[in-house]
Structure 1
């Protein structure tokens, strides 16, 4: 088994980090779990709810294998509710990115999919 990490990094609009986190956990996370993802960490940087400046929210999800990552990806891509959620979330977001990663000592095993 090789762990695959899916890392969402979101820079929120000033004063909107708490709203984003609440909505992410309430409205986005259940569907992500249904697609096989497990939320490992949700962190806010800096660790204060700014009212007049952006915060960065980083959600780290895990999957057990490259196969699980592909299955999650193919379930999410055609799902209009996923795209719709991120579209609605733009009211809280300045910038966002998603990265996938794995421990360096597991990358060779992940290449054989």
Structure 2
């Protein structure tokens, strides 16, 4: 029986921030200088940064982070809770953002039954 490899156990975080198009560049500058350095210090590794138009004058910014495992995730979260710069940054973001969401994701092993294709 062939099986897919077990998940590595890593954690990925997908942040979504929807902004007015006119606010995107300023928000990204702020994110790069105020949030990114601290996130890296807390063990978050930046994987991807995307932006996409969601309307004629709105842009969604998506940020994909990774951490080595759930212990690293909870350690990072705890460190963020102790750092007053983190809630201050997100409060300023919330004053601008039209929408914001964070998803914390871990891979799931599918197993052999999930990969079978019906005839």
Unaligned ranges ≥5, structure 1: 107-113
Deviation at 1:105, TM superposition (A): 2.1
Task: Kindly tell me the number of residue pairs found equivalent between the two proteins.
Answer: 103
Shift, 1:38, TM fit: 0.4
Pick from 75, 79, 89: which aligns with 1:71? Answer: 75
> 1:101, 1:66 → 2: CA distance?
10
Q: How does 1:99-110 map to 2 (within 5 A)?
A: 99-105=103-109
- Asked whether the equivalents of residues 94 and 100 of structure 2 are also in contact (C-alpha less than 8 Å), the reply is no
Q: Select which of 95, 98, 108 maps to 1:94.
A: 98
Match of 1:20 among 20, 23, 27: 27
Q: TM-score, normalised by structure 2?
A: 0.77
- Deviation of residue 91 (structure 1)? 4.3
Divergent runs of 4+, >4 A: none
Query: Root-mean-square deviation (CA), in Å?
Result: 2.1
* Alignment correspondent of 2:4: none
1:43-62 matches, within 5 Å, as 43-46=50-53, 53-62=57-66
TM-score (norm 1): 0.81
